[in-house]
Structure 1
Amino acid sequence: MGATEENDLTAGFPAVPTPRSSGATARVVEGLRRAIVNLEFEPGTKLDKAELTRRFGVSRFPVAEALNRLKAEGLVDIRPQSGSIVSRIRLADARENMFLRRALEGEAVAHHAQHRSKELLSALRLNMREQKAAISGDDRARFHRLDLELHDLFVSVVGYPRVRAMVEGARLSLDRARRLLITPRRIALTFREHAKIVAAIAAGDSLAARNAMSAHLDSVIGELEDFAREYPALFDGD
């Protein structure tokens, strides 16, 4: 088939994205997701496609694809008349994801209390010492990372990849909301709540470990609901 005939046959059909386009889309998705989760773009912020093309150095196609993917993740709302905006935090989703975490992470710490792995306890105590150092140094970003690492230790050491993936998915959807609560008071409370969980595991008390985890997660969602009442424009829901 000649080039002219091929062009006639493909006229009017959208071009298939090249691997380069796919790579550009992934880069925009990752960068924009990070900016949204880190609250660089607050809930309700309008996303200008032209500005995003300049920010990431790409054409409009990867930006449009990225926005569609982030819409599927619940981070972006695309409205025909008003364009794309950063989704407001949905309290109903936060409650559901915390419910899931309470069930899975509660079972995980109860499991660890039964087995009392020396290696795990050593890793947990090291993490707690580093959390304390981060608080002393007023390093909120480091404390946040250590918080994530501690919770990942709880679920990853159990050895069930699907459980870890489910908890990770629930945690990621809550990360944006939790960053609103990173205050000195919340950090101090989180440290004490973490300490109770680790102490219960070390004591081999499964019920106390499960209850401590539930109390910790309930405390976080309770503060989030209080914050939502104070700053309703950032949230979507009752």
Structure 2
Amino acid sequence: MKTEASPYSFLVLPTPLARGSVTTDVTAAIRNAIVALWLAPGETIDKSALCERLGVSRFPVSEALARLQGEGLVDIAPQRGSTVSLVRIADVREYMLIRKALESEALRVLIGNHDADVIEALHANMAAQRAAAERDDSETFHQIDIEFHDIISRSMRFTKIKGIIDSARANLDRARRLIITPRRLALTIAEHQAILDGILAQDAERATRAIRAHIDAVMVELFAFAREHPEPFADGDVLEQDTFPFG
């Protein structure tokens, strides 16, 4: 007898599951699906189907959804179940401002040290970005894009600051995926190259100006997208572009 395919066939857990890590692994799998937009903003979450697909009991799934609620990725309503949270532009605006400030300072630290290994890693990353863009592989490009910024932030060697940046990432990445196009990939490469050029020139002002311009450009496109497509956003219909501190 033919069985109906799971609506969550994109979800995968490690095999075998490590003892004591089931809830963590389930949380990571669902988080990744939300950030990758496989679970769309506003989509109802079928807890029973999740349990069946992942081969786990209801407890780790319920605990995972509660954790993701704390991260702003899931809404849980009594008697109504769980849904994927809509993207909140207000949150993205704040997270991007945090990144803007912290990554600007990270660049100053990096340029002050001029770590040869970091420079080599950035060159390799730029080459990987171009290769992914040529293949029109937006998912791989997105991961390489994340690593580009991680290389810069890791140069500070401050784990708490790196943690703050990482905690903002899930909602940022979800929003950024909404505007990935071949044009945005090309622009991102050019913007990243401008940052690297500032680093290579040992010019902190040039590099920080470039990274701030990069973040501003992403926000301009996201604001425009939210105005034209308000459905995935909790607050896209009341967006005011001039509330973001550009420059």
Q: Percent identity of the aligned residues?
A: 46
1:137 CA displacement: 2.1
* Distance in 2 (alpha carbons) for counterparts of 1:137 and 1:117: 31
Task: Quote the offset at 1:171 in angstroms.
Answer: 2.2
Structure ID, larger Rg: 1
Specify the code of the residue in structure 2 equivalent to 1:166: I
How many residue pairs were aligned? 219
- 1:155-182 alpha-carbon deviations (Å, 9 max, x no partner): 1022111111111112233111111122
Match of 2:106 in 1: 108
2 CA distance for matches of 1:175 and 1:83?
A: 25
Q: Which residue of 2 aligns with 1:47?
A: 45
Q: 1:28 aligned to 26, 29, 52, which one?
A: 26
Higher relative contact order (CA 8 A, sep 6+): 1
Contact 1:22 1:62 in 2 (8 A): no
**Larger mean Cα displacement after TM superposition, 106-115 or 215-224:** 106-115
RMSD: 1.6
Q: Which letter does structure 1 place at the counterpart of 2:38?
A: E
- TM-score of the superposed pair, with normalisation by structure 1: 0.87
1:21 positional shift: 9.5
Using the TM superposition, give the Cα deviation of residue 81 of structure 1 relative to its aligned residue in structure 2, in angstroms: 4.0
Partner SS for 2:76: strand
Of 112, 131, 134 in structure 1, the residue corresponding to residue 132 of structure 2 is 134
Answer whether contact 1:44 1:85 (CA < 8 A) is retained: yes
Aligned partners of 1:149, 1:185: CA distance in 2, in Å?
Answer: 20
Contact 2:122 2:196 in 1 (8 A): yes
Alpha-carbon separation, structure 1, partners of 2:65 and 2:140: 29
> Which residue number corresponds to residue 72 of structure 1?
70
Q: Summarize the Cα distance change of 1:21–1:110 in structure 2 as closer, same or farther, 3 Å threshold.
A: closer
Runs of 4+ in structure 1 displaced over 6 angstroms? none
- Cα distance in 2 for partners of 1:208, 1:26 equals 41
- The answer to whether the 8 A contact 1:156-1:164 is kept is yes
| C-alpha distance in 2 between matches for 1:170 and 1:69 | 15
Q: Which runs of 5+ in 1 are unaligned?
A: 1-19
* Contact residue 95 and residue 172 of structure 2 kept, 8 A: yes
More helix by share: 1
Q: TM-score, normalised by structure 2?
A: 0.84
What is the aligned counterpart of 2:178 among 180, 184, 190?
180
Contact in 2 for aligned 1:178/1:224 (Cα 8 Å): yes
Verify: 1:215 aligned to 2:216, yes or no.
no
Distance 1:28 1:116 in 2: 40
Contact 1:128-1:195 within 8 A present in 2 as well: yes
